[in-house]
Structure 1
Amino acid sequence: MDITNKKILVCDDSILARKQLMDAIKEEAEGGTFIEGVNGQDAVDKYKAEKPDIVFMDIVMPEKDGTTALAEIKEFDKDAVIIIVSSVGTQEQLKKAIQLGAKDFIQKPFEKNQIKEIIELRLGGK
């Protein structure tokens, strides 16, 4: 799948989690520019600066959690495509993320086919 002109923001406070997600995306799609964020505030700042096509974001992060960052990004850009990728989110947090406009939720550890489906669905890959 070719995503050459797409920007992908991957935001997680764990460098390992970011790398695993980026590697999984790279296995399914070629091209694409990756932007890394390390916390919720970083996600908001980088979204505003880069306007990525899709955001993969953890919920539990320092400085600003994923649901707060999600709300701020959606306020800035109501069409933002944000996918929550989390292992420890509570049902309440997940419900809140969906209400705030998250497009999908992936539970860690994720399966590569989940990443493929989201890339195809959200970035229009073939």
Structure 2
Amino acid sequence: MKKILIVDDAAFMRFAIRTVLERNGFQVVGEAENGSVAISKYKELQPDIVTMDITMPEMDGIQALREIRKLNPNSKIIIISALGQESYVREAVKLGAKGFVVKPYKEDYLIRTLSKL
């Protein structure tokens, strides 16, 4: 069972992602509301996969992605972000994100994307 860390500043979005993932056999080991917390939780929990929002207060997803990739160049991070952020998504993929899912996402697409990792 793959262990997942969910990173999103919106509590309802973290809940929605958690619900979908747990219903499909993933283990959610933690949640973070911004990039700074995500880095701490990544170090502590050592998840197999991180779902990462881009736009968040304090530290955005791009900065957190950079830092997590420094900690573990083999980290598996999927960006889950809204339409209109394509330039950030391209940057994230260049920095090592393994893919992206556009909000609002379809459950089957999210699960397929994570299952490939």
TM-score range, shorter chain: over 0.9
Choose from 85, 90, 98 the match for 1:103.
98
Identity, in percent, stands at 37
Where does 1:6-25 land on structure 2 (aligned, <5 Å)?
A: 6-25=2-21
Runs of 4+ in 1 over 4 A off after TM superposition: none
Structure 2: segments with no counterpart, 5+ residues? none
Partner of 2:115: 120
Unaligned runs of 5+ in 1: none
Greater C-alpha Rg:
1
- The answer as to whether partners of 1:60 and 1:89 remain within 8 angstroms in 2 is no
TM normalised by structure 1 equals 0.87
Instruction: Indicate whether 1:37 and 2:19 are aligned.
Output: no
- Deviation sequence 1:47-76 (CA, Å, 0-9, x none): 111110000010000010000000000011
Aligned partners of 1:103, 1:8: CA distance in 2, in Å?
14
Higher relative contact order (CA 8 A, sep 6+): 1
Aligned 8 A contact 1:83 1:102 in 2: yes
The residue aligned with 1:28 is 24
TM-score w.r.t. length of structure 2 = 0.93
Q: Distance in 2 between matches of 1:103 and 1:81?
A: 6
